[in-house]
Amino acid sequence: MKKILSLGLTSLLAISFLSSCNKAADSSTNGRTPLNLYLTDDPGMYDKVNIDIQSVQIKYSDDQGDAGWEAVHLTRAGVFNLLDFRNGYDTLLAKQTVTSGRISQIRLILGPNNSVVYNGITYPLVTPSAQQSGLKLNVQSDLVSDIDYRLWLDFDAGKSIVQTGNGKYILKPVIRTYVDAISGGITGMINPLNSTGFVYVLRNTTDTVASAIPSSTGSFTFRGLSAGSYSLNFDGMNGYRDTTLNNINVVIGAVTNAGTLVLHQ
């Protein structure tokens, strides 16, 4: 039988940069957030700490039942030696574009192949019954639409393994979980709808970062942008003039609204 381990998110805080360009959002991508989940570790006095991870799930609702969990795509399922990810190293565990909004809970589905190696001897890691039935913790963390996020599961191997008097090793996870908002974005509208073919986002007024075609409603969105000042260049068509909008400030964790730009013939 597979075992369920649920972990708590603590914050949506730190900042870094992941990707530089993406195409315009339309109605099918509004309200979606790219989420990358990483596994890392604090040191433990063992040769190996092997955890068999079969699935990662998130939950939006506040109810404590087993309904409403959404799986996040694993890069691979199987056994991970946590001690491979010490001293600032990590590994991409799962990634998926998920629904934007408040995540209330997160959990791991564990397989049976959990073990610890100590002084060259391998011992099975026993999972308490409370974890087998599902340990669920409230997290209440917000993911903003069109902003890339990275989420880390910082597993404290030293504190998470308890040796009993009869020589058994029990898995009682101590995990610090944190999320980085790692990009900003720009959104806006054009009018009339047939006035432009492409919209380009520029850095330093000349360096093209990304391009997009406005949706059928005239909207466009760029995400995955680092902090700084950008320009938007509108490639006029159907007799409309090329137009540039300068000094659009992007900050990490937010989508800057450039408003509606009216192009002229």
The 10s digit of each residue's pLDDT in 21-55 is 333 333 233 588 999 988 888 767 889 999 988 88
pLDDT of residue 138: 63
Same domain? For 87 and 24 the reply is: yes
How many domains, the chain?
2
Same domain? For 210 and 105 the reply is: no
Report yes or no: 248 and 256 within 8 Å, Cβ to Cβ.
Answer: yes
Higher per-residue confidence, 183 vs 258: 258
Same domain? For 119 and 202 the reply is: no
Report yes or no: 199 and 232 within 8 Å, Cβ to Cβ.
Answer: yes
* Over residues 200-224, mean pLDDT: 88
Same domain? For 225 and 105 the reply is: no
Same domain? For 161 and 245 the reply is: no
Give me the chain's average pLDDT, please.
Answer: 81
Same domain? For 193 and 174 the reply is: no
Same domain? For 71 and 8 the reply is: yes
Report yes or no: 8 and 137 within 8 Å, Cβ to Cβ.
Answer: yes
Q: Which of 152, 181, 210 is the last residue of a domain?
A: 181
Q: Which of 181, 204, 222 is the last residue of a domain?
A: 181
pLDDT of residue 191: 95
Q: What percent of the chain stands above pLDDT 90?
A: 35
Q: Which of 166, 181, 196 is the last residue of a domain?
A: 181
DSSP SS3 for 215:
coil
**Domain membership of residue 251 as a residue range:** 184-262
> Phi and psi of 158, rounded to 5°?
-65, -40
Name the residue among 239, 242, 201 with its Cα closest to residue 220: 201
The CATH number covering residue 218 comes to 2.60.40.1120
pLDDT of residue 12: 28
